[in-house]
Structure formats: C-alpha cells, structure tokens
C-alpha cells in the first residue's frame, strides 16, 4: 500500500485578538475536541537543590465541548503532583514550587540534582464514549544510580459517566485464563513507542495480567486492550513496554462496565455556537515568548515561505504513515492548529479534529519540523497569528 496525504491550507477566522490569560478555560470548552502537544525541559534551583524537569505531554484540553474537570484534576495530580483545573494551572503551580528557574547547570560541588521526566500519551478514543492514555514517570537524583520512581500506568476515562475505569472494570475478575483456547497464547501483540505491532510467542495473556493493580494497569482502545506491567521497559532506550490484544481475542474477558461503555450510544453534546456565536468564533489564545497576543484577524496572513505548492510538497515528503495505522488500515483527516510567531517560528500545536493517536502525533511532529514561515502582519507590524491546517491521510491498495 502507498500513502496519500492531501493538505488544505487555511487560516482560523475570528473577530479579534485575545490576551493569553483572559478567559482561557472558558474558551477551551468551545472545542468539541482539543489536545495540546507540549514538549519542554526546564531547570530550577532552590538552595542546593536542583531539579531538571522534562515534559512531553499530549494533554486533552476539551472533550465533547467540556474541559472535563475530573479528568483535568486527575492529570494535574498524576503529572505535576498538584491540584489543578487545567494544564496551565497545574504546570504553573508545579514550577513555582521548584524555586527559581535558571538557564544552565551551575559549576558547583555538593549540589543535589533531581531528574524528573513525565510523558503523557494518547492511546485511543471513541467519540462520546471514552478516552484512553498512558502516563510514564521516572525520577532519580545524582546521589543514586537507580531511579527512585519508574511508573507506567494506563487509564480509561468514561466520557458518559465522567469517571475512570478500574482494571477490574475492563478485565473481569472472574476471568480464568485456563478456560481460554491456546489461540490466545500466541496472538499477543506488542505496541512499541512507534506503535508497531508484532507477535511474541513467548508471552501470553495469562502471564501478562497480574492481580496487583500497582504492577499492572489496563486500558481499552478501538482495536482491543492495552496492558502495562508497571516498570517493564525496553533495555535500549528505557521506553515502557505496552502489550496489546486485539478486541476479537479478549471480548470474552471484558468486564460489564467496559462492555457498557463500548456498547453505549455515544454522548451527544450540542455545540456552544448556537448560544454564543461570537465567542465560538474566538480561538484559544496562546502564550508566545514575544507577546501575550495571538491575532486571528490580520491584514496579511502568515505564509509558508515558498508558497502553498511547496507546503504540500513538504508534507508529502516529510510525513511518514504510522506503521500501526497502516496495519489497521486507519485513514481520515486530522486538523492541527498552531501559532506562527512574529519571528516566523512554529509554536503551541494542538489537534482540534483527531484521526487516531498515531496519525495525530505524526501530523504534529511534521508541523513542528517545518522551517520558519513568513509571519502575519497587522497595521504594518509583524504579529503572532494562529493557523489551522487540515491533513488527509489515506491509503491506496
């Protein structure tokens, strides 16, 4: 099969520019779906304590026209260790607790350095039903060679009842692996960080599922069930191992709560545009390094430096169809929103219409790899502006 990727280029239309801090949470709720992609590394100092923080986050900002308060607070507690109603609130509270931000590692002796890394990755979602994701955290300090924390957990959030499913809500506690045919023993697939899938004869569903939820977590995706063994990682790069079974092979083992979610009618929520058309036209403001304003209406839109034709060629050359999506014949459109700063840099990417986690991730990667654009201008001055870029992924047999 060959990949075909088509690009439609357009700019988000709105009435005005917004302050980055004003009404952000309210505006987020006007998206049916929005996931922010944040990648940052910062160094903080508090006395003789240094903390180097690395975040790579795919943060669900809005689902079904709601910020989902329980989901936001849980994510803030799991990722930042603080209470919070949003990504910006949780991150700000966490960073403020670490002391003063510094640019480089001090050349001093007897400093304690803590290294904290957290990855939040989308694994799957069905519109109006559920969202599943992975959180992988590692923590160590320069006083010890071993990591004090190496935690990898999977979560499924029920969008209808607005609650998290436990492992026993997904895999029945009555499940007896000895009653399953041997067919299950060799049909275990593995997701790598590249979402490739292969078969492993030496593994089985029986020895993957463990009774202790601290050692084993489970989530559901459109194609099946994903299982994490906690701190099990690849030896070559430290990325966590995710085991997966196709839905057809695990259907008999599913517990009633997850069956209810999968078989339920998707939650239907009306758009806010009918009640507030003016606010609906406003896009989510973003914070750039140069100014707190992102313009949505400008005299001259931002442009890819060599024009629309070269932009299409860029994505045709740069995008790589994800391996797992090729195996599952996943196709569709993903819409990426991003900011072109007044200096032409690409920042603040978000997916506002998803296709699948793998395709969304690849689309964001390619967008962030773009060369500098010609920035938008307003009243003769270069300004930050928001751009929306739809990408169609399709496979030709």
pLDDT tens-digit map of 17-70: 333 333 444 456 668 899 999 999 999 999 999 999 999 999 999 998 888 999
Nearest to 381 by CA among 347, 337, 339, 343: 343
> Higher model confidence: residue 197 or residue 365?
365
Least reliable range by pLDDT among 86-90, 105-109, 118-122, 335-339: 105-109
> Higher model confidence: residue 223 or residue 390?
390
DSSP-based three-state secondary structure for 198? strand
Contacts of 295 (CB under 8 A, 6+ apart): 17, 376, 378, 383, 384, 385, 386
Structure tokens at 31: 């998206």
Q: pLDDT at position 335, please?
A: 94
Please state whether beta strands 112-126 and 49-63 pair in parallel, antiparallel, or not at all (unpaired): parallel
CA 340, CA 374: separation in Å to the nearest integer? 8
200 has a pLDDT exceeding 90: no
Most confident of 29-38, 121-130, 275-284, 323-332: 121-130
What is the share, in percent, of the chain residues with pLDDT greater than 90?
Answer: 47
Q: What tens digit of pLDDT does each residue of 224-240 get?
A: 888 887 656 554 566 77
DSSP-based three-state secondary structure for 368? helix
CA 168, CA 256: separation in Å to the nearest integer? 9
Q: What tens digit of pLDDT does each residue of 349-393 get?
A: 999 999 999 999 999 999 999 999 999 998 888 999 999 999 988
């Amino acid at each position: 099969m060959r990949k075909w990727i088509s690009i439609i280029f357009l700019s988000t239309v709105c009435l005005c520019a917004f302050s980055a801090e004003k009404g952000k949470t309210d505006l987020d709720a006007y998206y049916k779906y929005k996931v922010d992609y944040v990648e940052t590394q910062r160094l903080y100092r508090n006395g003789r304590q240094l903390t180097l923080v690395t975040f790579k986050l795919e943060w669900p900002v809005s689902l079904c026209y709601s910020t989902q308060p329980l989901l936001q607070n849980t994510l803030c507690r799991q990722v930042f260790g603080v209470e919070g109603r949003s990504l910006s609130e949780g991150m700000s509270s966490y960073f403020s607790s670490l002391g003063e931000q510094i640019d480089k590692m001090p050349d001093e002796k007897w400093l304690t350095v803590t290294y904290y890394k957290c990855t939040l990755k989308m694994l799957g979602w069905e519109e109006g039903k559920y969202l599943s994701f992975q959180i992988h955290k590692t923590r160590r300090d320069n006083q010890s060679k071993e990591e004090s924390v190496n935690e990898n957990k999977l979560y499924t959030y029920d969008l209808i009842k607005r609650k998290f499913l436990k492992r026993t809500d997904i895999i029945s506690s009555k499940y007896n692996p000895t009653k399953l045919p041997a067919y299950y023993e060799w049909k275990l697939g593995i997701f790598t960080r590249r979402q490739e899938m292969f078969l492993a004869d030496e593994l089985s569903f029986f020895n993957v599922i463990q009774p202790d939820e601290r050692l084993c977590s489970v989530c559901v995706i459109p194609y099946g069930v994903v299982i994490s063994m906690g701190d099990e990682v690849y030896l070559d790069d430290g990325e966590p191992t995710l085991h997966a079974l196709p839905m057809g092979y695990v259907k008999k083992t599913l517990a009633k709560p997850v069956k209810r979610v999968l078989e339920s009618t998707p939650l239907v929520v009306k758009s806010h545009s009918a009640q507030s058309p003016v606010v609906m036209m406003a896009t989510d403001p973003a914070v750039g390094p140069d100014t707190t304003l992102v313009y949505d209406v400008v005299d001259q839109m931002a442009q890819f430096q060599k024009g629309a034709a070269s932009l299409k060629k860029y994505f045709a050359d740069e995008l790589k169809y994800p391996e797992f999506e090729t195996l599952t014949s996943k196709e569709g459109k993903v819409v990426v929103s991003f900011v072109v700063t007044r200096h032409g840099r690409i920042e603040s990417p978000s997916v506002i219409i998803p296709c699948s986690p793998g395709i969304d991730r690849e689309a964001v990667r390619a967008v962030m790899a773009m060369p500098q654009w010609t920035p938008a201008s307003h009243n003769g001055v270069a300004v930050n502006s928001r751009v929306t870029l739809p990408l169609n992924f399709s496979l030709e047999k």
